[in-house]
Amino acid sequence: MIYSLAVYIRKLALVFFLGMMLFFSAIVAPTVFKTLPRDMAALLQSALFPLYYKAGIVCSVLMGLTWLIKSPRQFRNAKWVSSLLLTLVCAIVFAFCLWVLTPKLGDLRAQMSSTTDLNLQETLKGEFAWFHKISVFLNFVVILFLMILLALI
């Protein structure tokens, strides 16, 4: 009974996590930047991303905890170990994005809007673009890992 409930919670957390990421990446983010002026879109994204990353962390933790509800002999199963490690990596990546990348991008955005020095603005834009590319890449990696997890369950 508890094992069946754990499997159900794991699957639910996985599909919510993957669905949230795909919906946000494919529909919300592009629509926001097409519909709103750039500064307003950036403000909205800044408000949404912490919630997005927190939801991903919660899903990862739920998935990780449910992977631990197994019989002792399954702890040596390669599929189980791979699934738990992929889940752990997803949680770590989203924690990094929430507590490191998001504040860094916010600081850079604030510095860009507060300076009138054109050279400094260009430097900050380049730095912002670099950190944004890292964020996009990490999101792609998590989507890939979640698709692999979906195939494993």
Domain definitions of the chain by residue range:
2-152
Q: Are 93 and 142 contacting, i.e. CB atoms less than 8 angstroms apart?
A: yes
Q: State the sign of the Cα–Cα–Cα–Cα dihedral 103, 16, 86, 75.
A: positive
The pLDDT tens digits along the chain (153 residues) read: 788 898 899 999 999 999 999 999 999 999 999 999 988 998 899 999 999 999 999 999 999 999 888 756 666 788 888 999 999 999 999 999 999 999 999 999 999 989 888 899 999 999 999 999 999 999 999 999 999 999 988
Alpha carbons 55 and 44: distance in angstroms, whole number:
17
